[in-house]
């Protein structure tokens, strides 16, 4: 079964939701670059100070910062256990760097799952999204609710709404996705690793489709 998985798709398409399901059912590590960067912002670290204005505008954080944060994660990652990598890579250049890092350990990416989503569906989803600032798990107030309203199922932390989910920032994040991240579809197709998933399916049905793609 494939265990080194990239999750691709526009904002709000469900990468984080599937990543959490893969962590639970496949026991892989779920790593969201956006969550790691937001934690740096919370800590007010040097990386966080660099990242904050880019996140607030819905633009990509500079590669130097992203590579430092993600390189640190990879150094400690158990590549035999595997990973669901959510939000990184986000450009072809980032994908080439990741491939280089993994080649050094002879543990390449095995599967890239691409979510398709339209803007209107996504705006509705993100209006109801609540996230855990501690562990990063995501919910939807109606469609994927926590067991106790307003509290994370995993760590009981109070859930929050992300500040970059405002309409104007979200449209910018979509535009960045269209111009900079969408070319990764061709990159992973060229490697024979891309599988496209319909994101309009309910989370459990979509998980079943993803599971089938793991082989």
Stretch in the footprint of ligand AP5 (CB under 6 A) among 74-82, 96-104, 186-194, 195-203: 195-203
Of residues 139 through 168, those in contact with ligand AP5 by CB under 6 A are 139-140, 143-144
Taking the least distance from each CB to ligand AP5, the nearer of 114 and 144 is 144
Q: Count other C-beta atoms under 10 Å from residue 164's C-beta.
A: 17
Taking the least distance from each CB to ligand AP5, the nearer of 9 and 82 is 9
* One residue of 8, 60, 195, 210 binding ligand AP5 per CB under 6 A: 60
Distant-in-sequence, close-in-space partners of 1: CB < 8 Å, separation ≥ 6:
26, 214, 215
Quote the CA–CA distance of 198 and 23 in Å, as a whole number: 20
63: which 2 tokens? Answer: 């590669």
Quote the CA–CA distance of 95 and 32 in Å, as a whole number: 15
CB of 75 to ligand AP5, least distance (A): 17
Quote the CA–CA distance of 8 and 196 in Å, as a whole number: 9
Quote the radius of gyration of the chain (alpha carbons, Å): 16
Q: Would you put residue 184 in left (φ > 0), alpha (ψ -120 to 50) or beta?
A: alpha
The secondary structure element, H or E, covering residue 34 is helix 33-43
What residues are labeled active site? 15, 90, 129, 162, 173
Of residues 114 through 143, those in contact with ligand AP5 by CB under 6 A are 125-126, 128-129, 138-140, 143
* Residue 21 makes contact with ligand AP5 by CB under 6 A: no
Q: Which residues of the chain form contacts with ligand AP5 (CB under 6 A)?
A: 9, 11-17, 32-34, 37, 54-55, 58-61, 66, 87-88, 90, 94, 125-126, 128-129, 138-140, 143-144, 173, 201-203, 206
């Amino acid at each position: 079964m494939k265990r080194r998985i990239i999750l691709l798709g526009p904002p709000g398409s469900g990468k984080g939701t599937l990543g959490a399901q893969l962590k639970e059912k496949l026991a892989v590590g779920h790593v969201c670059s956006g969550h790691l960067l937001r934690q740096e912002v919370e800590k007010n670290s040097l990386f966080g100070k660099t990242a904050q204005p880019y996140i607030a505008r819905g633009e990509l954080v500079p590669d130097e910062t992203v590579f430092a944060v993600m390189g640190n994660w990879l150094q400690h990652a158990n590549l035999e256990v595997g990973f669901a990598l959510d939000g990184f890579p986000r450009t072809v250049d980032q994908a080439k760097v990741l491939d280089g890092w993994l080649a050094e350990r002879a543990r390449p990416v095995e599967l890239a799952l691409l979510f398709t989503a339209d803007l209107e569906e996504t705006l509705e989803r993100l209006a109801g999204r609540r996230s855990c600032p501690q562990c990063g798990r995501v919910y939807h107030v109606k469609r994927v609710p926590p067991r106790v309203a307003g509290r994370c199922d995993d760590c009981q932390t109070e859930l929050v709404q992300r500040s970059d989910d405002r309409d104007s920032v979200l449209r910018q994040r979509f535009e960045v996705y269209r111009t900079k991240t969408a070319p990764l579809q061709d990159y992973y197709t060229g490697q024979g690793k891309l599988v496209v998933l319909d994101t309009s399916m309910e989370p459990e049905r979509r998980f079943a489709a993803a599971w089938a793609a793991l082989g």
